[in-house]
Amino acid sequence: MKNLFAVLALSTVVLCGVATAIAADAPAPPLDVVTLKDGSTIYGEVIEMSGGVLVMKTPFSPDSSVKINWKEVSALAVNHPIPFHLKEGTVLNGTATAGSDGNLNIQSEQLKGALSVPIDSITAVNPLVQPPVIYAGTFTAGYSAASGNSTFRNASALLDFVARSEQLRLSINGRYVYADNADILTARNSRGTIKLDFFVTKRLYWFASAYVESDRFQDLKMRTALASGPGFQFIERGDFTGIFKDMTFFTEAGVSYFNEDFRVADDQSSFRARISMKLNWPMFDERITYFHYNELYPSLENASNIYLTMDNGLRFKIWEGFVASLQVTTRYNSKPAAGTKETDNLYLFTLGYSFDTTRKR
């Protein structure tokens, strides 16, 4: 029996060695070749071409990508089967070689041969097709309690949700915080923003938003701001490579009707500007995400009357969609109700779930 185990072990070692040797001696797949109109050539792997930009990986950038203007490409050789989209709507899946007179020879199983097409008739190569509506969001919550010598309860819940189609984007942002000590209320506030963006171009859009807030310890029954105006998406996913490849950033500026209902103080209403920006920066394959979001409401009647709400934080990926978040929320009111302070800072550690239906390679 011992001899049998010895033979089996020796056979396993030999087979592993042979497999490793075969893998090491196996020829690497040939590189794709892109020839530019200035005569220069680039070797690597063609990933995709969409929006007039060809993306490829090269031996010098295996962990990132190189972007090439499609109009500068005069010839192309692709040695692995990928889909080629033509102007008339035809999609051919296959390899390609450079043809004559600015043509591309596509070898496809569909055709049982090769088809020569003008290179300028190709509208996309291996594009990543997204679903009609993309959903992304994060829900996190925190809770702590004690009984006995100390008696307290602290709870918080935060929601950030975005639904995006080609022309519309719906954003919902909300937060609720509660705390008591020995059954004496010490904190209770909530706020929420709902916003709809109408994209005029891929970057320029018009927004309509509603902001609501309530805070027992700011003497605030309800703060409401209805706003509308233009916005611009300065950075979208894929604009950069490397650590910045998933970054998004937009800014907005508009006019709002701002109303505050207080419990004791006199109610107030005014017309204000609304200035907002949002940065979302996932890093290291979304293991860490830095986020910033603010809404600034300066009065159009009194420049010294300003209200600001701002979130800054880090989100850490734990496993799959489960995340932990560290967040600081700052609220500043230059004209607070009597007996309340101008600035409130809230520090939160929460756990929750994050999702994103965006398709990725």
The DSSP secondary structure of 202-262, one letter per residue, reads SSEEEEEEEEEEEEGGGTEEEEEEEEEEEEEEEE-TTSS-GGGTT-EEEEEEEEEEEEEEE
Tokens of 243: 């650590």
Tokens of 26: 């196996």
**CA–CA dist 231, 205 (Å, integer):** 5
Fold held by 134-356:
Porin (2.40.160)
- Residue ranges covered by each domain of the chain: 32-125, 134-356
Q: Other CB atoms closer than 10 Å to residue 350's CB: what's the count?
A: 20
> What was the pLDDT predicted at 51?
86
Report the predicted TM-score, pTM, of the whole model to 2 decimal places: 0.79
Per-residue pLDDT of the chain (361 residues), as tens digits, is 444 444 434 444 444 454 444 444 445 568 899 999 998 999 999 999 988 999 988 887 656 678 899 999 999 999 999 999 999 888 999 999 988 888 899 998 877 778 889 998 999 999 988 899 999 999 999 999 999 888 999 999 999 999 999 999 999 999 999 999 998 999 999 999 999 999 999 999 999 999 999 999 999 999 999 999 999 999 999 888 789 989 999 999 999 999 999 999 999 999 999 999 999 999 998 999 999 999 999 999 988 899 999 999 999 999 999 999 999 999 999 999 888 899 999 999 999 999 999 988 7
- The sign of the torsion formed by the CA atoms of 17, 19, 21, 23 equals negative
**CA–CA dist 223, 337 (Å, integer):** 12
* Residue type at 312 in one-letter notation: N
Q: Which of 94, 103, 98, 153 is nearest to 126 (CA)?
A: 94
Q: Other CB atoms closer than 10 Å to residue 185's CB: what's the count?
A: 11
Q: Which of 205, 215, 209, 221 is nearest to 178 (CA)?
A: 215
The distance between the two most distant Cα atoms of the chain, rounded to a whole number of Å, is 95
